[in-house]
């Protein structure tokens, strides 16, 4: 019987958490047709005394593995054909790996299955999402104070201090000549002006980020979506991976960090579940808005970012890298749309970091 016909005999049940359960029976004959191939594959993986690797005869391998083990391998092979047919027959937009469980297995009898798969959820945005930004004003950023400028100046002096073992650090005097060593500054006054400008720009960015955060929170609060567990777990993986990188840069191992805080990795993952859920929800919201509004990254911007990224990471997979860049650029455009800003992205400049002209 063709896999498409067997797939139609399965029953579908929608579960909470954007999951679908498919259950049914597969005729023994369908599995049996993969038996010989499964046995050869398993025999090729066996290592037994007296035989070279991959040269164990199938009859001897069968005694070692057992008929049930061979059938399980045959089922796994057959599922590569059946699973796509199941998704098509039952209109399942599956994401991630399915959870396949054999509920009944006996030679010469139909094999019973239960398959659970996460599905891409339905996202219902609030009706007034396009106007959410109108109710959230951009809070004006307070200008840099003299105290903040002096604090930054002191930090620069600390970074340029002369340190000798057993002696107190010698901080440089704040002179016009010293200011010139930090960049294209004629004097201390010019240096302070640049510091003030940098603080003002940082405060302005923080104010914009704060408004963006409030807009996001408002839209997420009004959005209806049942976030799949696999999406949340994926975000938890990203958070833990970033933690590992940050801790490694500090000269520690993640394992030592866990010992220091007296927690397991599972406990730390669980602490980030709510944050991971919010991140997953935000991505679903951005996907929905981008789809409804036809937002996508323009090709020149993608190509420019691809060129820059491949210069720094020449071994990166170009296809995966392109998907990542397209997603990042599209997300930024979508976030701007949520803020009421429909201006296109400006070309990135990778030759110079304009965030500060001060050499620390």
Q: Residue 284: what pLDDT?
A: 96
Residue 349, pLDDT > 60, answer no
- Average confidence score pLDDT of the chain: 91
pLDDT band at 64 (very low <50, low <70, confident <90, very high): confident
Mean pLDDT of 227-252: 94
Residue 77, pLDDT > 60, answer yes
30-44, 77-91, 155-169 — most confident range: 77-91
pLDDT band at 116 (very low <50, low <70, confident <90, very high): very high
Q: Residue 143: what pLDDT?
A: 95
pTM score? 0.78
Mean pLDDT of 181-200: 95
Mean pLDDT of 120-149: 95
Residue 352, pLDDT > 60, answer no
Mean pLDDT of 4-8: 94
Which residue would you say has higher pLDDT here, 114 or 56? 114
Which residue would you say has higher pLDDT here, 165 or 196? 196
Mean pLDDT of 160-171: 87
Q: Residue 347: what pLDDT?
A: 58
To the nearest whole percent, how much of the chain has pLDDT over 70?
A: 96
Residue 209, pLDDT > 60, answer yes
Which residue would you say has higher pLDDT here, 249 or 346? 249
Q: Residue 107: what pLDDT?
A: 79
- HEC secondary structure over the chain: CCHHHHHHCCEEEEECCCEEEEEEEECHHHHHCCHHHHHHHHHHHCCCCCCCCCCCCHHHHHHHHCHHHHHHHHHHHHHHHHHHHHHHHCCCCEEEEEEEEEEECCCCCCEEEEEEEEECCCCECCCCHHHHHHHCCCCCCCCCCHHHHHHHHHHHHHHCCECCCCCCCECCCCCHHHHHCCCCCCCHHHHHHHHHHHHHHHHHHHHHHHHHHHHHHHHHHCCECCCCHHHHHHHHHHHHHHHHHHHHHCCCCHHHHHHHHCCCHHHHHHHCHHHHHHHHHHHHHHHHHHHHHCCCCCHHHHHHHHHHHHHHCCCCCHHHHHHHHHHHHHHHHHHHHHCCCCCCCCCCCCCCCCCCCCCC
Model confidence pLDDT, tens digit, residues 308-340 = 999 999 999 999 999 999 999 999 999 999 999
To the nearest whole percent, how much of the chain has pLDDT over 90?
A: 74
pLDDT band at 355 (very low <50, low <70, confident <90, very high): very low
Model confidence pLDDT, tens digit, residues 252-307 = 999 999 999 999 999 999 999 999 999 999 999 999 999 999 999 999 999 999 99
Mean pLDDT of 203-212: 96
Model confidence pLDDT, tens digit, residues 262-273 = 999 999 999 999
pLDDT band at 106 (very low <50, low <70, confident <90, very high): confident
Q: Residue 45: what pLDDT?
A: 85
Q: Which of 17-21, 57-61, 122-126 has the lowest mean pLDDT?
A: 57-61
């Amino acid at each position: 019987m063709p896999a498409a016909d067997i797939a139609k005999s399965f029953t579908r049940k929608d579960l909470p958490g954007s999951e679908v359960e498919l259950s049914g029976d597969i005729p023994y004959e369908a599995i049996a047709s993969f038996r010989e191939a499964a046995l050869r594959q398993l025999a090729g993986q066996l290592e037994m005394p007296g035989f070279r690797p991959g040269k164990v005869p199938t009859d001897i391998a069968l005694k070692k593995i057992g008929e049930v083990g061979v059938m399980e391998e045959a089922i796994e092979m057959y599922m590569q054909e059946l699973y796509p047919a199941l998704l098509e027959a039952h209109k399942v937009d599956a994401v991630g790996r399915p959870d396949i469980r054999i509920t009944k297995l006996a030679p010469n009898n139909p094999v019973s299955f239960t398959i659970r798969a996460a599905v891409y959820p339905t996202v219902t945005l609030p009706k007034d999402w396009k106007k959410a930004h109108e109710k959230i004003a951009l809070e004006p950023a307070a200008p840099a104070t003299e105290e903040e400028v002096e604090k930054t100046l002191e930090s620069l002096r600390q970074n340029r201090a002369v340190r000798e073992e057993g002696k107190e650090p010698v901080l440089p005097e704040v002179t016009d000549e010293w200011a010139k060593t930090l960049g294209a500054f004629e004097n201390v006054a010019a240096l302070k002006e640049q510091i003030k400008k940098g603080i003002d720009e940082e405060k302005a960015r923080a104010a914009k980020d704060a408004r963006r955060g409030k807009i996001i929170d408002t839209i997420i609060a009004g959005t209806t979506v049942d976030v799949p567990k696999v999406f949340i777990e994926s975000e938890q993986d990203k958070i833990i991976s970033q933690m590992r990188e940050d801790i490694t840069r500090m000269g520690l191992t993640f394992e030592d960090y866990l010992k220091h805080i007296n927690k397991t990795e599972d406990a730390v993952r669980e602490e980030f579940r709510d944050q991971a859920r919010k991140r997953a929800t935000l991505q679903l919201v951005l996907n929905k808005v981008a789809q409804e509004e036809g937002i996508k990254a323009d090709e020149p911007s993608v190509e420019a970012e691809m060129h820059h990224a491949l210069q720094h990471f020449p071994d990166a997979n170009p296809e995966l890298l392109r998907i990542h860049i397209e997603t990042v650029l599209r997300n930024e455009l979508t976030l701007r749309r949520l803020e009421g800003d429909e201006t296109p992205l400006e070309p990135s400049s990778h030759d110079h970091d304009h965030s500060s002209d001060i050499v620390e």
